[in-house]
Structure 1
Amino acid sequence: MTEMPMFPLGSALMPGEHLPLRIFEPRYREMLQDCIDSGEMRFGVVLIERGSEVGGGDTRADVGTIAEVVEHQRARNGTWALLCRGIERIRIDEWLDDAPYPRARMSTWPDGAVSDEAWNIWLQELKGKASGLINFLSAIAEEANQNLPIPTLAHADQPATEYTYATAHFMPITQADRQRALCAADPISRAKILMEAIDDARSALQFQLR
């Protein structure tokens, strides 16, 4: 177990995903300054399941992602603009006192192994679902003659874990589904969750268009 500063957010961060942040709360400004002083520019990000990002008193998920600060800039008013990148998945073993800022003891949680043969089957299934949603959204945008945001298809030549995390990032699924995907034990389990989430996203869009 390793002790680490934590940043609870209203969104789940995937490993490999970039996360822009604006730091204005005094406790997180202190957290970032401690990271800078120590040279350890990393902290944990977990989803707030209930409550607010500001002020504390929230209910937090026990699975999250280590975020590494890749760019940081301080404004004259003391706030910070950060660009972070998700590094690897973690489990929270124990929450510590929130003073002066949230901290926890955590352990990294790698994916379980799956065979290449099994993964290739699910890769094609998941890729087909994601492509179907992209084509559906593109058709809507063309019919409406609007410049709608169209998600990106993850590169299929990535390792299974990276591909599923990238798909969770790119697809327009709910935060709850993103968190479920983050908590999956292995890439195939995550692919199954993502396929259901993509179907749900498409159904929701079709309902809105009625």
Structure 2
Amino acid sequence: MTDLPMFPLGSVLFPFMPIQLRVFEERYLVMLARVLQAEPAEFGVVLIERGQEVGGGEHRFRYGTVARITQVGADENVVALIAQGDRRIEVVEWLAEDPHPLARVREVADLEWDDSLLPLREEAEKTVRRALARASEFVDQQWAADVELSHDPVAAIWQLAAIAPVGPLDQVALLQASTAEALLTAVIDLTVSALATLGDEWQ
């Protein structure tokens, strides 16, 4: 276990996925100043269960992802950064804020890939890409249906989980998957369910 600076957000960060942030709250500017003194420069991201990103007092989910900073820029009192999702974590205990959120965390085991899962992976990818294309007819989507995935199989299935057009609560459930098979199965099931709410008959 280790103590890690934390950044609760209104969105879920997955392993192998990028995140862009504009930081302006004093407590998080302090956090970044401290984080950037270390190598690698990283902090934890968890989804806010209730409350707001700004001002504190929010309730947070237990599972999250370590964000590793890859790029930083500043403009007046705002710091813009790009980070990459790394390993998964579980919050064991929230510590006293100093002045930013701080938690004692433990790492969640990495997923292991087996080539026997290739048919399930292909089904999941087909389902997600079809869902993205269909959902784009109703709402703007962050990810295009033809977005490219990593050649690394574990990275690719996390990317599928991240781009699937499901809500943040479903994303938290995906983030907790204990095996690659469980993740792919959940991606398929949750994507089909989400698409059904758009009136798709899924034939």
| TM-score interval, smaller chain | 0.7 to 0.9
Which residue matches 1:85?
A: 84
Which residue matches 1:104?
A: 103
Matches within 5 A, 1:1-210: 1-76=1-76, 78-113=77-112, 115-117=114-116, 119-137=117-135, 140=137, 149=141, 150-153=144-147, 155=149, 157-159=151-153, 161-206=154-199
CA displacement 1:48-104 (0-9 Å, x = unmatched): 11111112211111111010111111222x221111111111111221112311111
**C-alpha contact 1:95 1:103 (8 A) present in aligned 2:** yes
Q: CA 1:196–1:102 in 2, change beyond 3 Å: closer, same or farther?
A: same
**C-alpha contact 1:111 1:187 (8 A) present in aligned 2:** no
One-letter code aligned to 1:110: A
Provide structure 1 residue ranges, at least 5 long, that are not aligned to the other structure.
142-146
Q: Segments of 4+ in structure 1 off by > 4 A?
A: none
Q: CA 1:136–1:120 in 2, change beyond 3 Å: closer, same or farther?
A: same
Shift of 1:37: 3.1
- Rounded to whole Å, the distance in 2 between the matches of 1:187 and 1:154 is 20
Provide structure 2 residue ranges, at least 5 long, that are not aligned to the other structure.
none
Count of residue pairs brought into register by the alignment: 198
**Quick check: 96-105 or 107-116, which moved more?**
107-116
SS of 2:129 mapped into structure 1: helix
CA displacement 1:141-166 (0-9 Å, x = unmatched): 8xxxxx9643345537432x322210
Shift of 1:112: 4.5
Quick check: which one's helix share is greater? 1
From the CA coordinates, give the structure whose radius of gyration is larger. 1
Identity between Structure 1 and Structure 2 (%): 31
TM-score in terms of structure 1 length? 0.84
Q: CA 1:31–1:156 in 2, change beyond 3 Å: closer, same or farther?
A: closer
**C-alpha contact 1:152 1:170 (8 A) present in aligned 2:** no
TM-score in terms of structure 2 length? 0.87
- Rounded to whole Å, the distance in 2 between the matches of 1:195 and 1:165 is 13
**C-alpha contact 1:181 1:194 (8 A) present in aligned 2:** yes
Query: What is the RMSD computed on CA atoms of the aligned residues?
Result: 2.3
